[in-house]
Amino acid sequence: MNVKEIVSKMTLEEKAGLCSGSDFWHTKAVERLEIPEVMVSDGPHGLRKQNQNADNLGINDSIKAVCFPTACAMAASFDRNLIYEMGKAIGQECQHENVSTILGPAVNIKRSPLCGRNFEYFSEDPYLATEMATNHIKGVQSENVGTSLKHFLANNQEHRRMSSSSEIDERTLREIYLAAFEGAVKNAKPWTIMCSYNGINGTLVSENKRYLTDILRGEWGFDGYVMSDWGAVNDRVRGIEAGLDLEMPGSNGVNDARIVLAVKEGRLDEKIVDGAAERILNIINRYIKNRKPDTEWDMDAHHEFARRLEGECMVLLKNEGILPLKKGSRIAFIGEFADKPRYQGGGSSHVNSFKIVSALEAVEGIADVTYAQGYENNEDIINEEMISQAVEMAKSAEAAVIFAGLPDSFESEGYDRVHMSMPNCQNELIKRIAKVQPNTVVVLHNGSPIEMPWAEDVKGILEAYLGGQAVGQACIDILFGDVNPSGKLPETFPRKLQDNPSYLYYGGEGDKSEYREGVFIGYRYYDKKDMDVLFPFGYGLSYTTFHYSNLKLSSNGIVDTDILNVTVDVTNTGDSAGKEIVQLYVAEKESKIIRPLKELRGFEKVCLSPGETKTVAFTLNKRAFSYYNTEIHDWYAESGEYQILIGKSSRDIVLNETVHVEASKQLPFKLTVNTTFGDLLGRPEAIEEELKSFIETVKAAMGQQSKGKDEEQSAAITDDMSNAMLKYMPIRGILSFGDGSMTYDKLTVMLDDINKKLYEK
């Protein structure tokens, strides 16, 4: 029986019932029609399957599984294949455990360092975020397990997350917040989407047809089902009409009954319920039909894989000849995170790791290490005794490595951070150690940017992010040079919170959170402001060096419908093998539009042996040059010169070439009496004889006016100045400043004729 037939045999009550969960984690079975229940589970960086007491806040236990690096870390790998492989591994665990859909990845933009859930999100850049999500989804779904791309849409703060409305203009939504989802929906086809708790411009997403149906399905071709975030349903009838298919968890039948009643009273078309039931059944069928119950997975192998992954994610932020450390040397490991690493965040993504390896355990047999706790993770109190002990230990060692970062209480699902600092006790500890031990390295465990008041005082900084259960081993691999660091920052680290573009409005007033910075988030803002940052987007060091050469474009001039191919050679000029993340940004040289100076439009990670050169290739299409034009409600690439920038980071552009892009379509244009002369002069085709003579009259009149009686003043007004003033004069100026031969009616007829001839085709 195909899905349509099954639905036609279902009663209204059965259909409405299918549109909500039977419990916290399952869809409903309809035994009469042999429709089984299926299970969904969190997500995103490991399996959180709960067999008993269920919750969505990470309170009760789930089965033992593997915690892979969280999204903030994975994004730093800039590695599509790697996250695909991670997705595949998670997919296998799901098949083994009969979990039909894993609730992730989460692709929300990191708008402010304050968002408590940043660790689950990829980046401040929508292209990087969507590319990582695409490959995560493809990996999981290659095992015939569904994903739930979340939290759609514009859920960028935890503060009042269930009631707040994100107030965002159309262009910003398209270029930043929708864009993060768009690529993943179009290219990876997630089986499901999870709608977020918040509203957008005054309407809850769970009741927002524009996003759940018009854009998601209509424009992007999404063919799966939309489920609610846990408890995101307000008005169920409005929700199902808007395109919210599955309510999670169920409402003990209350909302199912509301759907039934609405149909019976003629307030809701039954076809809408049929559509939702069909979409849910389609996905259940997809899972059941190709179920792989015999899938085995090896916990230890996945743990080793988590270690390898994290090795590709860590970002070396500073290295003044200190790293890699010498094996066998005497080193003080300081800080509670050396012993008990913070490797994941709190909330629904919390995985019950079957094993956790700390750096302290992993370093055994590699160096002569002593350990001092230095601070307490669960309270921010400067403990003099602990600090003195650590200082003494650091003094007598050849080097000190301090494991620091944010505690769970600072950063979690459900609430936001209130500042961008690390605990005082940790900052104090680092300062005091750095004073006595010149060879100090700080390893950081955090989900988003922090201020580093001690950055100048230490020789090395290694950003581990929240790196999964094998983070300790991965740290040792990098600290002692077995792995060459190759991650780069997927976000900017500003010097202080106040520098962040959302700072003035983040969190909002009451239930309104205005995104007043518009498209200028992350490096788009810092670059435009030419602002000094602590570490820029795309930045990260290696133990080897790379040289870039030979940037080539397939053409110097294209029409926006063409493809531009770009190649560049990268050579490993150092002594050790290493990986480099090559970044491509596009910058319009002169734009009529207020837009970022440059935007990331491509990246590739290449692995190179010493001396080896590889050619890296990129393909750019119209979208790479476009901004979202709100007049035509579409992407538009202005005609003009664009720079193709190749960078080691957003602030280290090493090569650039220029391409001319010609727009294949003109933007709509119409002459009115209020069109300025400046705009008119930019349209030579519109300046017909009659109009030309009037322009001359006005010009002459303006010249007369400016040449007033006052000799001194008239000498000060140059032709350039009067031309500049004319630019902003509307065409109707002909009536006021012309020779009187033009009337309003005559002018409008003349403009209408020109419009008909030239612009209204």
Q: How far is the CB of 54 from ligand BGC (least distance, A)?
A: 9
Token reading at 1: 């029986």
What residues have CB less than 8 Å from 70, skipping those under 6 apart? 45, 119, 120, 344, 345, 349, 447, 465, 466, 467, 468
Nearer to ligand BGC among residue 230 and residue 548 (C-beta): 230
CA 310/CA 70 separation, integer angstroms: 9
- Describe the strand order of the beta sheet including 640-649 as a list of residue ranges: 557-559, 652-662, 640-649, 578-588, 599-608
Catalytic, 229? Answer yes
Nearer to ligand BGC among residue 199 and residue 536 (C-beta): 199
Nearer to ligand BGC among residue 103 and residue 359 (C-beta): 103
CA 331/CA 325 separation, integer angstroms: 9
Nearer to ligand BGC among residue 348 and residue 473 (C-beta): 348
Nearer to ligand BGC among residue 42 and residue 477 (C-beta): 42
For the residues of 613-626, what is the DSSP string, one character each?
EEEEEEEE-GGGG-
Burial of 134-156, coded b for 16+ CB within 10 Å and e otherwise, reads bbbbbbbbebbbbbbbbbbbbbb
Which residue in the shown chain puts its C-beta closest to ligand BGC? 56
Active-site annotation holder among 229, 416, 477, 560: 229
Alpha helix (H) residue ranges in 249-379: 254-264, 270-289, 299-313, 336-339, 359-362
Torsion of the alpha carbons at 88, 94, 100 and 106, rounded to the nearest 10: -60
CA 132/CA 97 separation, integer angstroms: 25
Helix/strand/coil percentages in the chain, nearest 5: 35, 20, 45
Count of beta carbons in the 10 Å neighbourhood of residue 507? 16
Q: How far is the CB of 82 from ligand BGC (least distance, A)?
A: 23
CA 468/CA 472 separation, integer angstroms: 9
Nearer to ligand BGC among residue 94 and residue 450 (C-beta): 94
Q: Which helix (H) or strand (E) holds 18?
A: helix 12-18
User: Under a CB-based contact definition with an 8 Å cutoff, are residues 235 and 247 in contact?
Assistant: no
Nearer to ligand BGC among residue 103 and residue 661 (C-beta): 103
Nearer to ligand BGC among residue 121 and residue 506 (C-beta): 121
CA 502/CA 516 separation, integer angstroms: 7
CA 116/CA 411 separation, integer angstroms: 5
Q: How far is the CB of 71 from ligand BGC (least distance, A)?
A: 12
Which of 441, 452, 340, 434 has its CA nearest to residue 387? Answer: 434
Q: How far is the CB of 147 from ligand BGC (least distance, A)?
A: 11
Q: How far is the CB of 61 from ligand BGC (least distance, A)?
A: 14
Q: How far is the CB of 121 from ligand BGC (least distance, A)?
A: 11
Amino acid at 542: S
Nearer to ligand BGC among residue 347 and residue 460 (C-beta): 347
Cα separation values, 168 from 111, 229, 641, 652, Å: 13, 21, 30, 31
CA 584/CA 555 separation, integer angstroms: 16
What residues have CB less than 8 Å from 121, skipping those under 6 apart? 71, 72, 106, 107, 108, 109, 110, 115, 129
Token reading at 45: 């960086």
Torsion sign across C-alpha atoms 254, 255, 256, 258: positive
Q: How far is the CB of 220 from ligand BGC (least distance, A)?
A: 21
Count of beta carbons in the 10 Å neighbourhood of residue 25? 23
Q: How far is the CB of 561 from ligand BGC (least distance, A)?
A: 39
Q: How far is the CB of 348 from ligand BGC (least distance, A)?
A: 3
Q: Is 530 left (phi over 0), alpha (psi -120 to 50) or beta?
A: left
Amino acid at 47: L
Q: How far is the CB of 150 from ligand BGC (least distance, A)?
A: 6
Q: Is 434 helix (H, G, I), strand (E, B) or coil?
A: helix
Nearer to ligand BGC among residue 229 and residue 428 (C-beta): 229
Nearer to ligand BGC among residue 151 and residue 303 (C-beta): 151
Q: What is the CA radius of gyration of the chain?
A: 30
CA 758/CA 671 separation, integer angstroms: 10
Q: How far is the CB of 226 from ligand BGC (least distance, A)?
A: 14
Which of 397, 406, 505 has its CA nearest to residue 448? Answer: 406
Nearer to ligand BGC among residue 426 and residue 448 (C-beta): 448
User: Using CB under 6 A as the criterion, which residues of the chain lie in contact with ligand BGC when the complex forms?
Assistant: 42-43, 56, 103, 150, 229-230, 348
In a 10 Å sphere around its CB, with 0-12 CB exposed, 13-18 middle and 19+ buried, how is residue 711 labelled? exposed
DSSP 8-state secondary structure symbol assigned to residue 120:
G
Q: How far is the CB of 23 from ligand BGC (least distance, A)?
A: 12
- Active-site residues, by number, are 229
